[in-house]
Amino acid sequence: MSTVGNSTNIFWQECPVGKLERQRLLNQKGCVVWITGLSGSGKSTLACSVNRELYSKGKMSYILDGDNLRHGLNKDLGFKAEDRTENIRRVGEVAKLFADAGLICIASLISPYRKDRDACRAMLPDSNFIEARDSKGLYKLARAGKIKGFTGIDDPYEPPLSCEIEIIQKDGVCATPGDMAGEVMTYLEEKGYLQDQ
């Protein structure tokens, strides 16, 4: 007998086809590419660009976009600190399942709290965190007091301390979505995610 959360008699069901078999079938390694950054920084654009690049190479991927998930899985959550934490926990659990299925899961969320991202990392030791940069004018409105509860202004945003990939401006110029996606693809190729074991 096992107790999980408030439930009893919960048992983990093992199946004969596991992650390694699925990865061999797909000729790739399942992982999570976690794109974090302030609102308007280009996370969704980067996620879609990486997804397109993976598709062009015949690799299976799926995007878990923060806004999209609030239309379904997380529609019952608000933006208080505890709701943000639960939002990220749920996304982390789903991302873990996608990676276990052998897919490259691209999670694109503000995910403002470092401890929440670290908890997702702990669920999946080979996850990747990619920092995006603010490239839109939303912060001008927030700083002028026209938007309340805006992450990075009224609510905190804690940037990663040691992310695997950091997307930064070069000479004050933001890279194109294709160039940013290229950085992510290079990392995935170098680390062996784009071929099976």
User: Which residues are known catalytic residues?
Assistant: 111
Angstrom distance (rounded) from CA 132 to CA 135: 9
Angstrom distance (rounded) from CA 35 to CA 49: 12
DSSP state of 148: S
User: In angstroms, how far apart are the furthest CA atoms of the chain?
Assistant: 60
Residue 84: both structure tokens together: 């943000």
| Cβ–Cβ under 8 Å, residues 111 and 88 | yes
Angstrom distance (rounded) from CA 28 to CA 83: 34
